[in-house]
Chains A and B, each alone.
Chain A
Amino acid sequence: MSATPPPSDVELLLRGMHGSLTLDEGRWERVLRIARATGLHARLAANNANNPDLSAVLRRHFLSASRIAAFRSQMVRAELFQLAPLCAVDHPVIVLKGGAYLLQERPMTIGRFVSDVDLMVPRDALRAMEQRLRAAGWQTEELSAYDERYYRDWSHETPPMRYPGHALELDLHHAITPVTGSLAFDPAPLLERSVAIPGTPFRVLAAEDQLLHACVHCFHDGDLALRIRELVDIDALLRESATDDGFWATLLARAEELGLQRPLWYGLHFAITLMACPVPDEVMTALPRPAGLTIQLMDRLVPLAMLPTDPDGPPPLRARLARAAMLARYHLLRMPLHMLLPHLARKATLRLRARIAEKKEAPDDGAP
């Protein structure tokens, strides 16, 4: 008789992204805690909405999480509603990521936390769009001249904007990859293939482009720390689109056309290994593989960086090292060294100064 080791908390969490779970209350508590650490607790709640085996206290926590996720989604819809009159213009306005998934009413949005609204416009329309937003009341946090230049010259988005009193940030993009990085490409084909959302002035990326964007965002736009939810998105997008006619062929052709085969390989590889995503073998063999050593390294570091650690204490050293390594990788991918080193030195000095100048306080009377 072969003894299968009992599943770990993390395995249960990932399994819980695809269906309900039957666990005792103590185990549920641990899985819920690592779900909170990664922003996936409302997904667990959604997948267990009809689970008859839940105790009253779990029902209560799941209800709480579902309500907050639903509220945040509603905030995104409200923001888009207010943006709509400003977006009825003669160039495409693309809603990216979470906002787009909501407009498309994708099932994956139930219990998915959205924190901001991302819009993409053609680069030559960026300034006009920004001015229209400012004229309508959206404001940018005051930035130093340095940060301002960083965003303008080196980034693929403008500094975050916010309407006074609104909880959500608005990011205005003109590309989905940093303009200084090796993946930079002309986003015109993305706009051409975008899809209109009926009844709104908004468009969303084609399904294959949404998936490619999710892969780029996950593996080339951040330090990966606790960001397993981005892989949960990739897995969900793949599962929702896999049944579309010719989806895989279109996806492969598009990745080659846009030079995004590497992020796609990582997205598919980790969706398979961590999320048991049913990706056809021939799709993986059709993609150029990274070098063997790179794969080994990423196989070690990515799960360590992305997945939650023991919720009872601070993250262990190996997780912190993996996150630091992934952060270093991100910076190297984002800009060449002769630009990166002065940039990081400058940011470190500024951060140190800010840290000395002010300290974050506990909120008054426990109010959020």
Chain B
Amino acid sequence: MIRNAYRILDVGAARLGVASPIAGFHADLDRVYPYHEPTPDDRFADIRVSVLPGSRLRLRGQQASFWSEGARVFEPYPLHSALPLFEWGSNYLLSQRLNAYLLLHAGVVARNDRALILPAAPGSGKTTLSCALALAGWRFLSDEFGIIDMDSGELLPMVRPAPLKNRSIEIIGRRPGAVLGPLYPRTRKGDVAHFVPDRASFLDRHRRAQPRLVVFPAFRAGAPLHCTPLDKAAAAMRLGLNSFNYRALGPAGFAAVVALTRTVKAYELSYGDLDEAIACIDALFRETS
């Protein structure tokens, strides 16, 4: 039997294998994973998925579906949106499989090996802020997963394209140095385009970082900049709430969150202007180091 040819993407904390006969999907992958050279498929992959085309005869347009271990995990997307389907689907699978780590729902950026964690619920501007910080000279580790090795307390990068939605596409796109992938209009989450992390961050994708600062961002249009320090207990509670697996990890998760809280300073930051937020974060970071 002929095995599917998997394209292997080493994104740091995980190796992804994806097979697809859809040429447009591979062209989109080339754009949002521009530094990934073809890698031999000779090692364990954390996820292996297929993105397969549906029937050409479907009246409302051909679709793409996402398969993992012989099952279709999500409802199909339109064929031209195969890449967002792959990105969301594979992130979902990773969130189920990386429970050896404490998984925060957070953006992570770093200066050298000292990291800033931005934990937040969807819709708080975490992805946009992570991308803006990356464009302001920070090393990009992730816009989605704060992956903590519970033995060492270090953060593992997962350098993947970051999905910008609706207005964020223009806000990030007009900043100097920004590289965005194709625009996918009117997906189920609105318009989506992916921010492509820079080459230096990509090359550092196996370089771990030490948590130094935690900022809980809350973007509200027109809101004044407001930065409040959080005490250790409040920070620990909120880290637990912004985790994929804090509850599932039980005592190990509690210990990891407490240990993390002891090594960082934590703030809550509400803002309406991205540049003010970046200046504030830069100042906080200088104070902590």
The listed residue with most A CB atoms (<10 A of its CB), out of B3, B71, B90, B127, is B71
Among the 9-residue stretches A63-71, A154-162, A233-241, A277-285, the one with 4 or more Cβ atoms under 8 Å from chain B is: A63-71
List B232-260 residues whose CB lies under 8 Å from chain A.
Answer: 244-245, 247-250, 252
Chain B residue nearest to A32 in the complex (CB)? B44
0 or 1 for each of A40-77: is its CB under 8 Å from B? (1 = yes) = 00000000000000010111110111011011001000
Q: How far is the CA of A21 from the CA of B53 in the complex (A)?
A: 37
CB-defined contacts of B100 to chain A, threshold 8 Å: 59-61, 63-64, 67
B122 at the interface (CB under 8 A from A): yes
Q: Is A309 an interface residue (CB 8 A)?
A: yes
List the A residue with the shortest CB-CB distance to B93.
A366
Interface centre among A33, A312, A363 (most CB of B within 10 A): A312
**Contacts A/B (CB < 8 Å), 12 sampled:** A63-B100, A67-B248, A312-B4, A314-B52, A314-B72, A361-B74, A362-B77, A362-B85, A365-B91, A366-B144, A367-B95, A368-B96
- Distance A56 CA – B144 CA, assembled complex (angstroms): 24
Residues of B within 8 A of A61 (CB): 46, 97, 100
Q: What A residues does B173 contact at CB under 8 A?
A: none
Q: Which of A58, A64, A364 has the most CB of B within 10 A?
A: A64
Chain A residues contacting B250 (CB-CB under 8 Å) are 67, 70-71, 74
A361 in contact with B75 (CB, 8 Å): yes
Residue in B1, B72, B88 whose CB lies within 8 Å of A363: B88
A68 contact set on B, CB distance < 8 A: 96, 99, 248
Q: Does A98 contact B (CB under 8 A)?
A: no
- The CA of A170 and the CA of B193, in the complex, are separated in Å by 42
Q: A61-B100, A367-B244 are in contact. Are A312 and B48 (CB under 8 A)?
A: yes
Q: Which chain A residue has the least Cβ–Cβ distance from B143?
A: A365
In the complex, the answer to whether A71 meets B247 with C-beta atoms within 8 Å is yes
Task: For the complex, give the distance between the alpha carbons of A195 and B282 in Å.
Answer: 65
Tally of A-B Cβ pairs under 8 angstroms: 115
* B89 interface contact, C-beta 8 A: yes
Q: Are A313 and B244 in contact (CB under 8 A)?
A: no
**Interface window among A23-31, A120-128, A135-143, A328-336:** A23-31
User: How far is it, in angstroms, between the C-alpha of A367 and the C-alpha of B189 when the chains are bound?
Assistant: 14
Interface string of A78-116 (1 = CB under 8 A from B): 000000000000000000000000000000000000000
Within 8 A of A (CB), among B1-47: 1, 3-4, 19, 42-46
Q: A360-B74, A365-B127 are in contact. List 8 more A-B contacts (CB 8 A).
A: A312-B4, A312-B50, A313-B70, A314-B70, A362-B77, A365-B122, A367-B92, A367-B105
Contact A63 B99 (CB under 8 A): yes
Docked-complex contact B3 and A362, CB < 8 angstroms: no
Q: Residue B286 at the A interface, CB < 8 A?
A: no
* Interchain CA distance A182-B206 in the complex, whole Å: 61
Which residues A342-368 have CB closer than 8 A to chain B?
359-368
Decide: B188 and A362 in contact? CB cutoff 8 A: yes
With contact pairs A28-B44, A29-B45, A57-B44 given, residues A368 and B97 touching in the complex (Cβ less than 8 Å): no
- Closest A residue, CB atoms, query B73: A362
What's the minimum C-beta distance from B41 to chain A, rounded to whole angstroms? 9
A25 touches B69 (CB 8 A): no
The answer, among A26, A308, A312, A368, for a CB contact under 8 Å with B95, is: A368
Residue contact B71 to A37, C-beta cutoff 8 Å: yes
Do A36 and B244 contact each other (CB < 8 Å), given the known contacts A29-B44, A63-B99? Answer: no
The digit string for B93-121, where 1 denotes a CB below 8 A from any CB of A, is: 01111111000010000000000000000
Residues on B lying within 8 angstroms of A by beta carbon are 1, 3-4, 19, 42-46, 48, 50, 52, 67, 69-72, 74-75, 77, 85, 87-92, 94-100, 105, 122, 127, 144, 163, 188-189, 244-245, 247-250, 252
Task: List 5 tightest A-B contacts by C-beta distance, closest first.
Answer: A366-B91, A64-B99, A37-B69, A71-B248, A60-B100
| Bound-state Cα–Cα, A120 to B122, Å | 41
Q: How far is the CB of B87 from chain A (nearest CB, A)?
A: 8
A290 within 8 A of B: no
- Beta-carbon contact of A313 and B46 below 8 Å: no
Residues of B near A70 (CB, < 8 A) are: 250
List of B residues within 8 angstroms of A58 by Cβ: 44
Measured CB to CB, the closest approach of chain A to B160, in angstroms, equals 10
Contact A311 B44 (CB under 8 A): no
Q: Does A19 contact B (CB under 8 A)?
A: no
Q: Contact: A362 with B88, CB < 8 Å?
A: yes
B91-A312 in contact (CB<8A): no
Given A309-B70, A310-B70, are A26 and B44 neighbors across the interface (CB < 8 Å)?
yes
A365 surroundings in chain B (CB, below 8 A): 88, 91, 105, 122, 127, 144, 163
Bound: A358/B83 CA distance, A: 23
A34 at interface by CB-CB < 8 Å: yes
Bound state CA distance, A29 and B42, in angstroms?
Answer: 11
Give the residue among A34, A315, A359, A363 with the most B Cβ atoms within 10 A.
A363
Known: A364-B189, A367-B122. A311 touches B46 (CB 8 A): no
Assembled-state Cα–Cα distance A314/B70 (Å) = 5
Other-chain residue from A25, A28, A64 in contact with B98 (beta carbon distance below 8 A)? A64
Interfacial chain B residues near A309, Cβ < 8 Å: 70
Q: Are A363 and B48 in contact (CB under 8 A)?
A: no
The residue in chain B whose Cβ has the minimal distance to the Cβ of A359 is: B75
Task: Specify the chain B residue showing the minimal Cβ separation from A66.
Answer: B99
In the complex, chain B residues whose CB is within 8 Å of the CB of A361? 74-75, 188
- Chain A residue, CB-CB nearest to B89: A362
Residues of A within 8 A of B98 (CB): 64
**CB neighbours of A67 from chain B (8 A):** 99-100, 245, 248-250, 252
Please tell me if the beta carbons of A55 and B88 are within 8 angstroms of each other in the complex.
no
Interface centre among B44, B90, B105, B122 (most CB of A within 10 A): B44
